[in-house]
Amino acid sequence: MVVLILERVPLGLRGELTRWYLEPKAGVFVGRVSAMVRDRLWDKACGQARDGGCVMIHTSDNEQGFRIRSWGKTARSIEDFEGLFLVRVP
């Protein structure tokens, strides 16, 4: 399972991502894709985000059961605290 959250990105990027994911809310994408497709879509999102930001949450084999990636200017920051992902609200 993959959740991709985009903030302040071009509409064209959101349109491209709807080919692979469902968009239940503006800028929030959910889907199930292979790791290779997930990583390529992440690279595409980061490359086209301009001044926006991206956060990706996907399943992983760790204690929490997921990993979080963050890129660009987002409203919240992700902190890695001794192997646990925490969200910091400024």
DSSP 11-68: HHHHHHHTTTSEEEETTEEEE---HHHHHHHHHHHHHH-TT-EEEEEEE-SSSSSEEE
What are the extents of the domains in the chain? 2-88
pTM of the model: 0.91
Q: Domain 2-88's class?
A: alpha beta
Write the pLDDT tens digit of every residue in 3-37: 999 999 999 999 999 999 999 999 999 999 999 99
Q: What is the pLDDT of residue 90?
A: 83
